[in-house]
Structure 1
Amino acid sequence: MAARLLRLRLTLLGSAFRGSAAQGFRAVLVGLLAVAVAVALAWLPTLILPEAAARADLDVFIGSALLGAALLVPFFANRGHLEPRQFASVPARPGSIASALLFSTVLTWPAILLLVWLVALAVLRPEWQQPVWALALGLVLAYLFAVTATRVSSALSKLWFGHDRGGVLRVVGTVLLVALLPLAFFGITAISGAPEGSTSAAARALGWSPFGAAFAGAQQAANGDLGAALLHFGVLIAAVVLLLAIWFPIVRASLQSVERPADPAIARRGLGWFERFSAKPASVIAARVLTYWSRDPRYRVGLSAIPFVPILMILAFWVAGADLRTLAAVPLPVILLLLAWSLHNDVAMDSTAIWSHVASGIAGRDDRRGRLAPVLLIGLPVALIGSTVTVTVMGEWRVLPAVIGMNLAVLFVTCGVSSVFSVLIPYPTTRPGDSPFAQPQWSGSGSGLSQTLSMIAALVFSVPAVWIAVIALVDVTPAWNLGALAFGVVYGTAILGLGILLGGKIFDRRGPELIAATQVFD
């Protein structure tokens, strides 16, 4: 089985050079360019940092980034990867198929380029070449980790999400990549210009992770500390064993399960967002609400006004003499706050369809979760990408974890608050089909009360995460910043979950009243 797959991989590699002479020349040129880039990546640290100690830290950072990419990228982009389900009809044991797929991965272009980089690293680091066995062991373990991580990540993605959601995963991966590029740029510049002590702590921390253990172990062995080197290699060996322990059950599960076939009698094209979500209550509501947000001018008018509020705030503070670098952290949380707060009256905006949720017996928590889809799909990329822009303007990339934690917390907390108030105190709003600038006549005070209370609640519940983030921005240490990130994510997620549960219970209890209220508004 392994020999057949290796021959297949060789044929696929050779197919890139077949065809016309121009195609073959172009393939050879691209291949040589890729090899040159891999070698240049190994040579770059020696050019930037001639001192061996500082260069070792940079090697740990670059190696960790590459091995991390080997684990993460195949989860989001695996369209051309072989998957275990493709061999379900082959008369072979799951273990044989798993081993063959694992061995054949070495004959793929990413694996070949990684091998070229590792070999170039071994040649261009003379300080690592004594003892030779430690360098060879570390680089071989790094290569095994990358290969197994790629296979496990790709197989997990296809087992969980299948082919239908491949496009959505690629979009999510692209957004994350764009969000992390500024961080990588500032990290490289800071490492090249910072004193040794400010970067060695982060390099030591990465050295005890599976991503940087091989390179930190090679450096420890070169320094004569073989015990520490073996401990680093032990971390990497444990990670490889763990990945192998996950890989074989994944192959067995993939061979014993199939994707749900599409019903040929049901239209699968032209349904917009409904094509990209599963046929479950929360997912269907999410698809319908996303359709509203993309077509209904009421939502577009509201969204178009959100960016102008923080701009006016910055102008006011700037006129008052405030430092623009300090104010750089203000606009993004305000944008996320207003974006999530726009859900606080979503039931009234959806007045023509709310009766279908109540009549069909949909659980309130599914209604609440489905309505969060547009804000989260917009807010999460904005929070990640905007955080990198924020630290760019501030000129301090070390505070990025705290900024991300603060922004995610504001987004999640406000979503949770809005999930409660949209069913607790709905008030009349523009009806579907009317001008987005027209407002219905209403003699009650629900509008001002709901807006005021929901905004106050969102601000009050956001204070803990913002306070901890501000402390981390003032005391720029890794511990405070990572703690602010963890607290912001955990705290925001907890408030969001509580808001969904509480809002769902209110929806279940007040379903008839909500229908009556929205009919009055119409």
Structure 2
Amino acid sequence: MVAQLIRLKARLLANSFRRSPWQLVGVILGAAYGLFLAVMLIIGMVGLGSQEPELVRTVLVCAVSAVVLGWAIVPVLFSGADATLDPARFSTFPVPRRELTAGLLLTGFIGTPGAVTLVLFVAAAAAWRQSGPAALTAVVAGALGALFCLALARLTTTAALALTSKRRFREVATVLVFIPLVALGPILGGLQAGISAVFDVLPHVADVLAWTPLGVFAALPGDVLAGEWATGGARLLLALAYLAVVVWAWSVLLMRSLQNPVQASGGSKGSLGLGMLAWFPATPWGAIAGRSLTYWFKDPRYAAGIVVVPLLPFILWYASSQTPTPYMVYAAAPLMAVMMGFSISADISYDSTAFSLHVTTAVRGVHDRAGRALACGVLALPLVMAAAIVPPLVIGRPGDVVALAGLTVGALLSALGVASVASARWTYAVVQPGENPFKSPPGAGARAALTQLATMGVAFLLLIPEIALVITYFVTDRALFAWLALAVGLAAGSVLLTVGIRVGGRWIDTRMPELMQAVTLNK
């Protein structure tokens, strides 16, 4: 049965490649990146092997501890990222507990994260090459450590199943993933300032981690090299006990979750009245705008796509504070505008089977495009304009507001126009409603990345006139060019948005059956 589950995982992956060549391209690119990363780290471990054994032990124990901790935390936040062999699908099959546990655990190595972790942990033997017994111990301990990572990830995700099934938890997790980006600069600056103190503390930290589940496997080769057989034996027994307890605990929780499956919760309650539909006129485009704006506030997939947008001013503000000219923060507003406008490029794909409402009611394509663009604009315009107005006022250059506002408005309108065309012409597999926003569905990957990159690239190219005028304003410091940038941004952006809505609407009218088929298949 274990071998059958492994073959099943491999077959499912192979079938997904046959279904979509872009999926295969994405996996190849991911594997190439993982291989490159592995080669670089292996080269680093070969170089580390020429250092003192104490330093080798400290570095490996701390590094492996960080990886193990990542395996425990990241899969919970990104729950559902790999649903190729979902344990819930075995609830109706009488598979023995032992075989199911072992099979699902070992299938974790069929995939880039598990395979790269196994290779890197085993390759740690290169750092212990000065001793044959220590290197052999590193190979065995590395394989056990990689298995422990997979078991720990399964345990934490299964234990958190009741939370990850709730939409509100997924929304909070989405924010938590990106909020540390704001503090990343100060954190790195603090580490750089106290780097010597960190190195003084690391050996003591490694001594503690070597007895915990995080670093016990990485510490075994050092005991063999030092000839501390009693300590090494005790640590080996402790490591095996950690592995056995984690696997046993996961198997118990797995059986309970299969017998009493947790129902996914949308996290929303009924509301009185029309909600956001009442904010817009009783017209086709008004109804679509109200429905789309409701998605923006209640669908975590939209939040996952733009949660980093409000953080851009803070990130660029810190980056500009480290340079002599504190104007890097000016780039936040146009970048936010392009990202917000681009965010509706997958609206039709996100609709999934709900797009049938447009088909059965014969909604005109121009109304669909206008409604979706209006909903995004209502949410995005106050946000991006605040990012365009506040930084110049804080820096003490209020005259820059006009130029920056022109560039920002032009960026938002142009990006909405380009996205209105792109989403009507190209669809791709996206996360389905109610699923984790970080899940990678079959058929996604390279095709989605190329489509998104091309859409954003075109949006930036269309901003060349506004960018040129803004640069001229900063070089000459003449207010005329700032007002010209504002006028061109409003005029060119409005024209591009109108053209995008009309062209995208025409494509929807002529391709509505194909679009309905595409969003039905993109699951």
TM-score (normalised: structure 2): 0.46
The structure showing larger relative contact order (alpha-carbon pairs under 8 Å, at least 6 residues apart) is 2
